[in-house]
Structure 1
Amino acid sequence: MENFKTLKDFILRHKWFYIFGIVSLLLVDGLQLFIPEILRNFTDTLSRGEITTDLFIRYCIGLLSLAIIIAILRYFWRMLIMGTSRHMEYYLRDRMFKHLQHLSIDYFHHHKAGDLMARATNDINAVKMAMGMGVVMITDAFFLTAAILFRMVATIDMKLVISALLPLPLLVVVVLYFGKSIHNRFRAVQEAFSKLTEKVQENISGIRVVKSFVQESFEIQKFTDANQYLFNKNMDLVKIHGLFHPLIALITSLSYGIVLWYGSILVVKNIITLGDFVAFNSYLAILAWPIMALGWVINILQRGSASMSRINEILHAKPDIIEGKNAIHKETLEGEISIENLHFRYPGTSRYVLRDINIHIPPGNSLGIIGRTGSGKSTLLHLILRLYEIEEGIIQIDGINIKDLSLDTLRKHIGVVEQESFLFSTSIKDNITFGDPNFKMEDVVAAAKIAQIHDNIMNFPHQYDTLVGERGVTLSGGQKQRTCIARTIIRKPRLLFLDDCLSAVDTQTEEKILQGLQEIMKQKTNIIIAHRISTIKHCDEIIVLDEGKIVERGTHETLIQKDGLYRQIYEKQLLEEQISIE
């Protein structure tokens, strides 16, 4: 059970729950062994004609007392063992989510949300079963089996015991043969479930696109294929599972058949008493559960092991971005940014996205970045935020290499409004105060006014308490962008990065937002990425990126004097504006 080593700390922390739970379970198993002895004595007394009313009542009270004690102890072991397995489920899901929060952005580019959700639900449930019912079954399978066999050998004819155990070697063969197959097939089922979850999650997230392109039938067919694949994998597991347990039951029935045949002969020959025969059958009836449990425990543990290995793939994943042991923590930053000889390519690729980038932004200055799609504009911001690790070149803030700054210091003082606006499925107020829910309402309103979203919010039925739906589905693209701007403004970061975040608003609204930001931006170091020149023309410096290189730099006035890419973009946008006016 190599896969379960991940739970070592949890098991050690909750060892007493498991220990007391197993002790309660063992007491239950031990007390059950008294029942055949009571039945043996009762049967022999009855067969000899020595039974009396008083003796009969004593036998009944003895059985009833055992039943009550066993019921109480069963409650305790269920609360201790099964309850601890629920704690383990909580612990593992919590640990998995925390680990996901610390993994680098690149990890989520290669692992779909649906697959991660499946591991956090279905797989963790399988592990919970292994650490709950699996512990119970493995305890019963070994202790109860050993105890019953000992009692049989000690109190009943050895030949009858040996004859009853003749089918057991066949049981071992069946368990060993089916165990590995169950493990592999259950893992295939979990992976198929992950693919189905991915398909559902992706389809629901993109439902607008599906409907806009009238692709409902196509998406239904893709879901049906994924659903059929999961069904086929489940049937593969059911086939072997359906064969496994009947074989276990058949082997158990063989033991019963042998005992009935050979035991009856021994009773007739007076080698054993009728009470011995009844007691032996009672022992065998009790033994049927641990034998069945042995089959079940292999199934449950193999399922749990397969799921634990899938969870371990997440828990053992290492983040690409690691904070150094002696990372520098700073309460404030001046905001000076220096980038020297920066070259960057994404992990696993050979093409450079950025090449020979050299930039210096003094504290309080603004840098505008413009360029064709795919020229590396957003990537540059991601590198400053240290969402990806750089191998060639240096990025410094206040003269300190960002690799030497704590991630908390770096990201706490940088406010970013991404190109892709993301809102949580909660109220507008909660979205704006996402960075700190303790912001005062006047701060929220002030930020919303600067972002030119306040008037829209006040027109909503519930105003700032309006729920925006999943990913802000009830808001327009421009409203989502402006809400994200307000969310960043309210944090009052020392460095402000705007990544083409005004693309979904009209030029008039854009101008109002920039006017509102103007006073705030004077106190910050700003990087503004845009496709519209009107957004960046007031920046202290503008750089033009093309195919990952800086091909032009200067102010708006100097760049339009050159016959370069910036002027081409400028003239094209002027022409588009004139056409739209006409």
Structure 2
Amino acid sequence: MGVFRYLTQFFRKYKWYYFFGIFWLLVVNVVQMMVPRLLGNITDSLAQGMLDARGLLMYALMILGIGLIMGFGRALWRIFITGSARRLEYYLRTKLFAHLQKMSPNYFNRMKTGDLMAHATNDINAVRMAFGGGIIMATDAIVLTLLAGGLMVAQVGWQLTLIAIIPLPILAVSASSFGRIIHSRFKNVQAAFSTMTESVQENLEGARVVKAFVQEDEEIKRFEEAAQKHVDTNVHLVKVWGMLEPLVQVLATASVILIVMFGGRAVINGSISIGDFVAFNSYLVMLIWPMMAIGWVINVLQRGRASMDRLNAILDEQPDIYDGDNAKDVDVQGNIEIKDLSFEYEDGHKALKNINLNIKKGKTVAIIGRTGSGKTTLVNLLLRLANPPRGTIYVDGVDINDIKLKNLRESIGYVPQDNFLFSTDISNNIAFALEKTNTIEVEEAAKFAHIYDNIIEFPEKFDTMVGERGVTLSGGQKQRISIARAIIKDPEILILDDSLSAVDTQTEEEILKQLEDIMNNKTSIIISHRVSTVKDADEIVVMDQGEIVERGNHDELVKQGGLYANLNHKQQLEEKLGSA
């Protein structure tokens, strides 16, 4: 398939825009070819003393009319071609963004944010330039060359025209060679830009860590290295571009010299009139312009092609997680059954081993265990952020792989560990899953999450901007807003993944008490490393190294004297020491 295969749909829709744009571009090119002939006629008439004031006025009006047509035509081709190029930029950027939305979480573990940002900015801009200015200049170069060359032959004959275009074959061969080099080097430029962008993005996100560890100088040095590489790759490209443009100019100048020499002699010999020579030189100037533009055209088109290659690499990627042919919508009630579930990641790490769970609607199951015991992996499989083996996880008796992703995820209220908040106000963060923000629902959800009192203390209340990733809020406030965001969905399944770790035990108890009424009617899964969070669950599952090692309620597990009892004892001691 062609390098621009993902643009086929766009060109089907906007082909007539390009057609009319090129049509008016051709009209302008044809009309402007009349000017040299008029100048030639004026020159001959003046030389022969045959031009009076009336004739001069007529020629002036004709040139003015040509200028008006050219101005009108140029306005139209800019609207059609340049406007379409901007639409192409929008189309490609939204297509790329929509494609990234479909990709699985694992894809973003492999790809750098800075690299993706470079694709969405520089690469798309390069493609726009190729299908805007590139098409305009390429059309000009081809049409003006043919028209000017043809009129030159008609004006003074093929011999003098042939002399004028001697440099063109040299230019064509040189341009082809330079084009391949430009294509390769521009890819390196874009890769260097991606690295530099990633360095900036990562440093700004980790600004507090950088300052806390006094690594400002080291980070400046790292950025300088990335920036220098970007400069070096650009200079490497400019060296080629810097040689191509002077070469074009030298060959164009050579044409002028040849015409002055041979054309001047023809005028002296009387083979052609001085008017013909003026017209011929005007056509030659028009021919020199596309000759000089060839270098720019090749540069822009090759940059566009190189950038489209890079974009294709992303658009060709297929998501790991998608709706299968048998996927269907299910009226999710919240009954979850896990049978002999084992799971390992691509690197061979075995995260889960022989997990068996049966969670009935309205029941609360807590999962507790050390870091790395597989708790979050289990949740990711329930959300299908990773694909579980077929026949291992069922929701209401239906294999989770046969439930449509949108249907499944809309039925689950999920509070993740990282509590990501968007750079908007508190109200919109809570109402993130709603089509339209409902003030009453937002406030009720905030009360259930025990964050309402904190919010109304802010000067802007629910309109308070939280900053990038919720930077203006404390960890506990971010967690409770995340809980409110999950509650407002009114999901059939509620999953809290270590989402109370940043609040004190008293606040934790108050939040859980507030959530009791909601959790009584929903299937709830609470993941934590704190016993105080899970002790009131209907069933507590203790995991270690990817396996369920203990299960039961709080009292039963304490009596068993195993891992849970040991963890409970340690945390009780910590609380006593903390209150002493």
TM over 0.5: yes
Task: Give the corresponding residue for 1:548.
Answer: 546
Q: What is the letter of the counterpart of residue 338 of structure 1?
A: E
Task: Give the corresponding residue for 2:226.
Answer: 226
Task: Give the corresponding residue for 1:327.
Answer: 327
Query: Which secondary structure does the structure 2 equivalent of 1:344 belong to?
Result: strand
Task: Give the corresponding residue for 1:395.
Answer: 393
Q: What is the letter of the counterpart of residue 6 of structure 1?
A: Y
Of 45-54 and 162-171, deviating more is 45-54
Cα drift, residue 85 of structure 1: 0.4
Residues of 2 paired with 1:2 and 1:233: CA distance? Answer: 27
Task: Give the corresponding residue for 2:575.
Answer: 577
Task: Give the corresponding residue for 1:77.
Answer: 77
Of the candidates 563, 566, 577, which is equivalent to residue 565 of structure 1? 563
Task: Give the corresponding residue for 1:28.
Answer: 28
Residues of 2 paired with 1:231 and 1:9: CA distance? Answer: 36
Query: Which secondary structure does the structure 2 equivalent of 1:419 belong to?
Result: coil
Residues of 1 paired with 2:390 and 2:441: CA distance? Answer: 41
Q: For each residue in 1:366-401, what CA deviation from the matched residue of structure 2 results, as whole angstroms up to 9, or x when unmatched? A: 111111111111111010111111236521100001
Query: Which secondary structure does the structure 1 equivalent of 2:92 belong to?
Result: helix
Q: What is the letter of the counterpart of residue 233 of structure 2?
A: K
Do the aligned residues in 2 keep the contact of 1:342 with 1:392 (CA within 8 Å)? no
Residues of 2 paired with 1:262 and 1:563: CA distance? Answer: 107
Do the aligned residues in 2 keep the contact of 1:341 with 1:392 (CA within 8 Å)? no
Query: Which secondary structure does the structure 2 equivalent of 1:511 belong to?
Result: helix
Cα drift, residue 441 of structure 1: 2.0
Q: What is the letter of the counterpart of residue 311 of structure 2?
A: I
Residues of 1 paired with 2:206 and 2:43: CA distance? Answer: 72
Cα drift, residue 438 of structure 1: 2.8
Cα drift, residue 580 of structure 1: 1.0
Cα drift, residue 560 of structure 1: 1.3
Residues of 1 paired with 2:260 and 2:462: CA distance? Answer: 78
Report 1:7-406 matches (<5 A): 7-330=7-330, 332-347=331-346, 349-391=347-389, 394-406=392-404
Do the aligned residues in 2 keep the contact of 1:337 with 1:360 (CA within 8 Å)? yes
Task: Give the corresponding residue for 1:441.
Answer: 439
Coordinate RMSD, CA, aligned = 1.3
Task: Give the corresponding residue for 2:496.
Answer: 498
Task: Give the corresponding residue for 1:410.
Answer: 408
Q: What is the letter of the counterpart of residue 178 of structure 1?
A: F
Residues of 2 paired with 1:439 and 1:294: CA distance? Answer: 55
Query: Which secondary structure does the structure 2 equivalent of 1:353 belong to?
Result: strand
Cα drift, residue 320 of structure 1: 0.7
* Structure 2 gap segments, 5+ residues each: none
Residues of 2 paired with 1:540 and 1:50: CA distance? Answer: 110
Count of residue correspondences: 580
Q: What is the letter of the counterpart of residue 285 of structure 2?
A: A
Task: Give the corresponding residue for 1:482.
Answer: 480
Task: Give the corresponding residue for 2:3.
Answer: 3
Do the aligned residues in 1 keep the contact of 2:428 with 2:437 (CA within 8 Å)? no
Cα drift, residue 503 of structure 1: 0.4
- In 2 relative to 1, CA 433–519 (structure 1 residues): closer, same or farther, beyond 3 Å? same
Residues of 1 paired with 2:292 and 2:520: CA distance? Answer: 75
User: In the alignment, does 2:468 pair up with 1:470?
Assistant: yes
Query: Which secondary structure does the structure 2 equivalent of 1:403 belong to?
Result: helix
Extract structure 1 runs of 4+ deviating beyond 6 A.
none
- In 2 relative to 1, CA 419–121 (structure 1 residues): closer, same or farther, beyond 3 Å? same
Cα drift, residue 445 of structure 1: 1.7
Cα drift, residue 16 of structure 1: 0.6
Residues of 2 paired with 1:154 and 1:136: CA distance? Answer: 26
TM-score, length-normalised on structure 1?
Answer: 0.98
Of 386-395 and 542-551, deviating more is 386-395
Query: Which secondary structure does the structure 1 equivalent of 2:3 belong to?
Result: helix
Cα drift, residue 155 of structure 1: 2.5
Of 311-320 and 529-538, deviating more is 311-320
Q: What is the letter of the counterpart of residue 78 of structure 2?
A: R
Residues of 2 paired with 1:175 and 1:488: CA distance? Answer: 59
TM-score, length-normalised on structure 2?
Answer: 0.98
Of 281-290 and 498-507, deviating more is 281-290
Residues of 2 paired with 1:242 and 1:284: CA distance? Answer: 24
Q: What is the letter of the counterpart of residue 406 of structure 2?
A: D
Q: For each residue in 1:71-125, what CA deviation from the matched residue of structure 2 results, as whole angstroms up to 9, or x when unmatched? A: 1101000100000000111111111111111111111111122211111111111
Residues of 2 paired with 1:571 and 1:392: CA distance? Answer: 39
Do the aligned residues in 1 keep the contact of 2:431 with 2:438 (CA within 8 Å)? no
Cα drift, residue 157 of structure 1: 2.4
Task: Give the corresponding residue for 1:459.
Answer: 457
Q: For each residue in 1:1-46, what CA deviation from the matched residue of structure 2 results, as whole angstroms up to 9, or x when unmatched? A: 9321210110111011000110000011111111111111111112
Do the aligned residues in 2 keep the contact of 1:157 with 1:272 (CA within 8 Å)? no
Do the aligned residues in 2 keep the contact of 1:430 with 1:437 (CA within 8 Å)? no
Residues of 2 paired with 1:207 and 1:248: CA distance? Answer: 49
Query: Which secondary structure does the structure 2 equivalent of 1:2 belong to?
Result: coil
Residues of 2 paired with 1:167 and 1:144: CA distance? Answer: 16
Q: What is the letter of the counterpart of residue 117 of structure 1?
A: M
Of 547-556 and 520-529, deviating more is 547-556
Cα drift, residue 462 of structure 1: 0.8
Q: What is the letter of the counterpart of residue 241 of structure 1?
A: W
* Structure 1 gap segments, 5+ residues each: none
Residues of 1 paired with 2:389 and 2:170: CA distance? Answer: 60
Do the aligned residues in 1 keep the contact of 2:390 with 2:401 (CA within 8 Å)? no
Residues of 1 paired with 2:410 and 2:423: CA distance? Answer: 23
